[in-house]
Structure 1
Amino acid sequence: MKIDLSGKTALVTGSTAGIGHAIAKGLAGSGASVVINGRGQDKVDAAVRKLEGSGAKVRGIAADVSTAAGCKALVAALPDVDILVNNAGIFEPKGFFEIPDEDWIRFFEVNVMSGVRLSRAYMQGMLKRNWGRIVFISSESGLNIPAEMIHYGVTKTAQLAVARGLAQLTQGTAVTVNSVLPGPTMSEGVETFVKDLARQNGQSVDEAAANFVRQHRPSSLIQRFASVEEIANMVVFVASKEASATNGAALRAEGGIVNTIA
């Protein structure tokens, strides 16, 4: 199967690094014109240069999508897209009794409202053109709420609900809305987290990563962290024309952590 996204414009939020950057690279490699997004202009410019070196059609827009003003500015700079990947997100291990209201609100604004606002802005145009793809990057933590970061898990569950609700609005059209659920993935942010664990426990990074999976995700079938490219591959397919019958789905790329047949 050859995925060809030529002529399609894709916006990937939070794509200066990690899973988002891998998704942007994958979409660009399939022919899409890709817009990189991040909060800081310097990081956006660096991410654009990195992809431009491979001959990709890419440009960048710096905007903080965790705010209504940032989303408004992004939409003003990019009025229409064919593919929207709501990837921007944050995580932080913290005990429930230490999570203040401010953290709950911040996580909800970044992880949930960014996707709500941008979907509201772009989905109507997709419906009018009768083609479009919206993909929410959720997490297996949306199904298995992690005790070490309940606030994060709750926002990832909320993403699943938003995506499914939006999919209901596409009935009878060629627009689809889906979620992709990564498991532990070795992005730059997670790599920093694992390195901190390694230092704290006097372990190598590989030992710390393996121990994390054994202790915190013991049901994992692959028994390792996924690569960012493995998650991006799923997203590129969901964004493709070939995925036209996949709609309203929560697609698991979590290594078999969720112990269910559906």
Structure 2
Amino acid sequence: MPGKFMNIDGKTVLVTGGARRVGAELVRAFAAAGADIRLHVRRSRDEAGELAAVLPAPERCRILTADLAVPGEAAKLFEACGPVDILVNNASMFEPGELAAGPEARDREHFEVNFWSPLALMRAFAAQQLREGAVVNLLDQEVVHGSARGGAYALSRRALADATLEFARELGPRNLRFNAVAPGPVLPPAWLPGGKMEKTLPTLPLRRKVGLADLAEAVLFLCRNDSITGEILCVDCGQHL
């Protein structure tokens, strides 16, 4: 018997951190699939407006502002969205630093953005009365497989990975699915010296960086496939091997 797939056309999708980089590619992919977009930003409202203007149906994209480093803002964001069929937790923060060195304020901010706010959004998502729904959390291949040393960043991302699996177990009977994508090298972060990411690519089995379109397609695949939950999918050109 053929499998059943979620039809994204007409669904409402919330993408956090959706104005730039990976988030913008996700917004473009969901809009192309016919979704109504709830595009969250922290400060990049102008960039979000420019992105919305070039989507197939700009009028179906709402831009919402929230600082996910502030406790309680995530719940307010979800309430402002209205009903949400698909949640994509893409927003994150990273500042280099060792856990032993602190400072505590920075570590707490990492956890608020990378764990507590996504958790609040997942809880609000689960509180809806949906017949079906999908959540995809964006993680980090190096964190998931334990090769990254990133202090509070690494701890907060691993906590979100564990929460993804726990929500999948708890809410599967309600046909709510929770998955994650763990990317490898996609775009170099602003703090990384120029060319450093490119120098690592020959060490990967596929010898290249992850394409933005490939990453977005993986997210849409996990949203569509009704038989997949509790999966952390590495999209990393084989970096985890």
Task: Give the structure-2-normalised TM-score.
Answer: 0.88
Distance 1:33 1:74, change over 3 A: same
Q: 2:190 aligns with which of 168, 192, 195?
A: 192
8 A Cα contact 2:14 2:86, kept in partner: yes
| Structure 1 position 121, deviation (Å) | 0.9
Answer yes or no: is 1:122 the counterpart of 2:122.
Answer: no
Q: CA RMSD in A?
A: 2.1
State the distance in 2 between where 1:119 and 1:5 align: 19
Match of 2:31 in 1: 28
Answer yes or no: is 1:137 the counterpart of 2:138.
Answer: yes
Higher helix share: 1
8 A Cα contact 1:11 1:83, kept in partner: yes
8 A Cα contact 2:201 2:207, kept in partner: yes
State the distance in 2 between where 1:145 and 1:92 align: 18
Match of 1:108 in 2: 111
8 A Cα contact 2:13 2:86, kept in partner: yes
Q: 2:226 aligns with which of 235, 244, 247?
A: 244
Q: What runs of 5+ residues in structure 2 fail to find an aligned partner?
A: none
Match of 1:226 in 2: 210
Q: Deviations over 1:177-197 (max 9, x none)?
A: 0011011211xxx35334xx1
Q: What runs of 5+ residues in structure 1 fail to find an aligned partner?
A: 199-204
How many residues are aligned here?
A: 235
Distance 1:152 1:146, change over 3 A: farther
8 A Cα contact 1:3 1:30, kept in partner: no
Give the 3-state SS of the residue equivalent to 1:35 in structure 2. strand
| Structure 1 position 52, deviation (Å) | 2.7
Distance 1:146 1:97, change over 3 A: farther
8 A Cα contact 2:144 2:161, kept in partner: no
Give the 3-state SS of the residue equivalent to 1:169 in structure 2. helix
| Structure 1 position 79, deviation (Å) | 3.0
8 A Cα contact 1:85 1:135, kept in partner: yes
Corresponding letter in the other structure for 1:129: L
Give the 3-state SS of the residue equivalent to 2:234 in structure 1. strand
Distance 1:184 1:150, change over 3 A: farther
Distance 1:51 1:66, change over 3 A: same
State the distance in 2 between where 1:213 and 1:148 align: 19
Q: 1:210 aligns with which of 192, 198, 205?
A: 198
Distance 1:75 1:191, change over 3 A: closer
Q: Percent identity?
A: 25
| Structure 1 position 239, deviation (Å) | 1.6
- Give every structure 1 segment of 4 or more consecutive aligned residues whose post-TM-superposition deviation is greater than 6 Å: none
Match of 2:84 in 1: 81
State the distance in 1 between where 2:149 and 2:79 align: 38
Deviates more, 1:115-124 or 1:70-79: 70-79
Corresponding letter in the other structure for 1:100: P
8 A Cα contact 2:6 2:223, kept in partner: no
Q: Deviations over 1:109-163 (max 9, x none)?
A: 11111110111112121xx222101111111122233454232222221111000
